[in-house]
Chains A and B, each alone.
Chain A
């Protein structure tokens, strides 16, 4: 069972990365060293090799930067609007809804007392992931969050924030002591310690995989539905493909929001668990 499953997955991945027929789907989903703006041309990104590492700027890095630029511009506008008057208007209204949502629906209930310290991190993660998710939905766009390297890095940053938050509140030894639940038999302690320690790492791992898989899957499904037209070579499938792709696309909009929310929510939850260990 497991072997057959793994062979299927392996074969699919091999086909995905190797085969010419489905390569174009992966081409759209995967990272690249150039910006494909066909029919306007292809922009080759600079390749940087430093300290024996490949630090080239890739498509996803460019889209992360676009997200950064958009966010900085939006928040400059928002800040100016707040300096003028305390009543939000225009884009500030939208940003305020999201900020207040992260503050009152995510950070405050999950972390509780002392949540203000983590608010900048949670807000940044939320807006960054949200913007990256949405950038993948515009034409010529690419989802930086469908890159496992990006999501793993974000999850690792979350991991550090969680651990540092817990250690700063409870002290180094107090924090690791608090990881083990109270009232368990002595002989279970070594096992529990290992289990809890593993739990620390599985949480961010789950965060990374969840975001990556969600953002990748929707795109692959859209591509596959559109690809039906070219594989079946008939016009009759066009309405079906387009309508299904449109449906998935609308779903993707929802998923883009939900995944940003979930990543922030779970990060916040884990921070709260590490911060207030008594619960």
Chain B
């Protein structure tokens, strides 16, 4: 009912003044032409390139984010590696120092021991030498004393005539001996 009325009014209202529900075939045709023209031209100049640019940019941003993420992970790994390496190096250095210190200590004690031994040996050698020399000298002295005694005895035997002479002789030889 109402639709029919509206339709009648719309038809009646057609013409120059027109009603709000007046359908104008010219406008319809121009709308179709305009819209399809706009669709085609915008599809060519706008939608394709702009949507492509948007997609490109979105993928670029996504890629960049992913890249940044991997770079961050790499850097973190690198830092961890560095830290570990440094710790290792420090350990190594400490080990080397300790080792060398130990070695030096050992060397020192060894050298010390050796030199002590040598010194002792030298002292011992010297002592035995002295002993030997002493003994030699004593033996020589003993021989000499014996010789002198024998010689003096010979002389005594040769000149054993009187007591005076004997005493004189003994005295003389004793003097000789003491002069010696």
Report A's interface with B, CB cutoff 8 A.
2-3, 5-7, 9-10, 13-14, 16-18, 23, 26, 29-31, 33, 48, 53-58, 60-61, 64-65, 68, 71-72, 75-76, 78-79, 82-83, 86, 95-96, 99-100, 103, 116, 119-121, 123-124, 127-128, 144, 147-150, 152-154, 157, 216
The answer to whether B20 touches A216, judged by C-beta atoms less than 8 angstroms apart, is yes
**Which of B2, B6, B18 interacts with A30 by CB under 8 Å?**
B18
Give the chain B neighbours of A17 by CB distance below 8 A: 9, 13, 17-19
Give the chain A neighbours of B51 by CB distance below 8 A: 99, 103, 116, 119
Shortest Cβ gap from B112 to chain A (Å): 80
**Which of B35, B47, B54 interacts with A96 by CB under 8 Å?**
B54
Question: Which 7 residue pairs across A and B have the least CB separation, nearest first?
Answer: A75-B46, A149-B27, A153-B31, A6-B2, A82-B53, A17-B13, A55-B26
The answer to whether B34 touches A64, judged by C-beta atoms less than 8 angstroms apart, is yes
The answer to whether B19 touches A13, judged by C-beta atoms less than 8 angstroms apart, is yes
**Which of A6, A60, A216 interacts with B27 by CB under 8 Å?**
A60
The answer to whether B39 touches A124, judged by C-beta atoms less than 8 angstroms apart, is yes
B113 interface contact, C-beta 8 A: no
Give the chain A neighbours of B1 by CB distance below 8 A: 2-3, 6
Give the chain B neighbours of A10 by CB distance below 8 A: 5-6, 8-9
The answer to whether B50 touches A9, judged by C-beta atoms less than 8 angstroms apart, is no
Docked Cα-Cα span, A267 to B48, in Å, equals 21
The answer to whether A2 touches B50, judged by C-beta atoms less than 8 angstroms apart, is no
Q: Interface residues of B: mostly helix, strand, loop or mixed? A: helix
Residue of B with least CB distance to A100? B54
Interface residues on B, range: 35 or more
Q: How many pairs of A and B residues are in contact by the CB < 8 Å rule?
A: 164
Docked Cα-Cα span, A99 to B42, in Å, equals 12
User: Could you give 13 example pairs across A and B, Cβ below 8 Å?
Assistant: A6-B6, A9-B6, A16-B19, A26-B17, A30-B18, A30-B22, A31-B27, A53-B26, A61-B31, A75-B45, A119-B51, A147-B27, A216-B20
Given A54-B25, A65-B34, A149-B24: A13 touches B13 (CB 8 Å cut-off): yes
Shortest Cβ gap from B92 to chain A (Å): 51
Docked Cα-Cα span, A82 to B16, in Å, equals 47
The answer to whether A2 touches B2, judged by C-beta atoms less than 8 angstroms apart, is yes
The answer to whether A31 touches B2, judged by C-beta atoms less than 8 angstroms apart, is no
The answer to whether A82 touches B50, judged by C-beta atoms less than 8 angstroms apart, is yes
Shortest Cβ gap from B162 to chain A (Å): 153
Give the chain A neighbours of B161 by CB distance below 8 A: none
Shortest Cβ gap from B9 to chain A (Å): 5
Given A10-B5, A120-B39: A79 touches B49 (CB 8 Å cut-off): yes
Give the chain B neighbours of A56 by CB distance below 8 A: 26
Docked Cα-Cα span, A65 to B21, in Å, equals 22
Given A2-B1, A68-B34, A157-B32: A121 touches B27 (CB 8 Å cut-off): no
Residue of B with least CB distance to A18? B17
Known: A13-B13, A68-B34, A78-B50; 20 extra A-B contacts, CB below 8 A, are A6-B1, A6-B5, A13-B6, A17-B18, A18-B17, A30-B17, A33-B16, A55-B26, A55-B30, A58-B24, A68-B38, A68-B41, A95-B50, A99-B51, A100-B54, A127-B42, A128-B35, A149-B27, A149-B28, A150-B27
